[in-house]
A and B are shown apart, each in its own frame.
Chain A
Amino acid sequence: MEFRVFNLGLVDFKKAWEFQKQVFKKAKNNYLNAALILCRHHPVITFGRQARRENIKVTLSELEKRGIQFYEIERGGDVTYHGPGQLIAYPVFNLNYFKKDIHLFLRQLEESAINFLSAFAIKGDRRKGSTGVWIKRKKVASIGIAIRNWITFHGMSINIKKDDLDNFRLIRPCGMDIEMTSLETILGNNIEIEEINELFIGKFKKILLIPH
């Protein structure tokens, strides 16, 4: 099982998107079976395939004025926000070497986030019909993936920093009127994302790296 982890640090969404495509090609050509790309983004709003324009509450020029980038992308789901206060995980998995089960893969991503939160004594939950991870009534992790030839890309973002939640107010996240929360908000103390990446990688590997 050839598994690689890449940590891109703080990068523009577009750079990480292009990097995912490079790793995707490696997976397609069987240079690796699975990879996990970790990063944080400069503020960006992305539009998934099921997104509706009315779920962005401001104009695109207003986003530009605020320094927020905007991309329409090929992942599933509606609109979301990414920023420097999130742990972002893009798994590139060739599911031909795992289980070819789309919903199972989504549930495994949720499970990795739930196990990660439990390391902080936080109980994360699933909501039937609303993919992602929730803490009580607030969402902490958002998921949207694309699969081409049974190889996955895009992935999951987990809100970590409490001061990077305001931009969610510019959208209806995932097309819903919901509140977002973060790990720092729940814990009430400061967390450096780069210091918790390894913890996440460990939880992720335990759940996702199970060959079929």
Chain B
Amino acid sequence: MTKVVLPELGEGIEKATVSYWYFKEGEKVNEKDDLVELTTDKATFNLPSPSTGVLLEIFIHEGDAANVSEVLAVIE
């Protein structure tokens, strides 16, 4: 199982909001696929999938905020 974690985004940035999941739970994802789009301040950014597998569960849904280092989803 691979955790999808919100990485460090820069000094003083503690949170980001999930704006879009490119995949639904249960769908197959490939490593490096765009997995989730997040926003902070006036910027959007993407997180690529850290591994190939099935997007098992999303913990942080669209419109919700996550802290840096928090697990957004898991891939199995």
Contact = CB atoms under 8 A, between A and B. Distances in A.
Q: Do A and B bind each other?
A: yes
Contact of A75 (B11, B20, B44): B44
A102 B46 contact: no
A50 interface: yes
Interface in A91-124: 99-106
Contacts, number: 70
A160 interface: no
Nearest to B46: A148
A104 B39 CA distance: 15
A12 interface: no
A144 B43 CA distance: 6
A77 B34 CA distance: 20
A147 B10 contact: no
Interface in B1-38: 8-13, 19-20, 34, 37
Interface string B39-52: 11111111010000
A50 B48 CA distance: 21
Interface string B58-69: 000000000000
A102 B39 CA distance: 10
B42 A74 contact: no
A99 B8 CA distance: 12
Nearest to A104: B10
B12 A102 contact: no
B39 A106 contact: no
A29 B45 CA distance: 19
Given A76-B39, A148-B34, A49 B12 contact: no
A147 B46 contact: yes
B65 to A, nearest CB: 13
A76 B9 contact: no
A74 B42 CA distance: 11
Contacts of A49: 19-20, 37, 39, 44
A102 B19 contact: no
A144 B41 CA distance: 9
A196 to B, nearest CB: 24
A102 B45 contact: yes
B45 A146 contact: yes
A149 interface: yes
Contacts of A104: 10-11
Given A74-B37, A102-B43, 16 more contacts: A49-B39, A76-B41, A100-B8, A102-B10, A102-B13, A102-B45, A103-B10, A103-B40, A103-B41, A106-B43, A131-B42, A145-B44, A146-B43, A146-B45, A147-B46, A148-B46
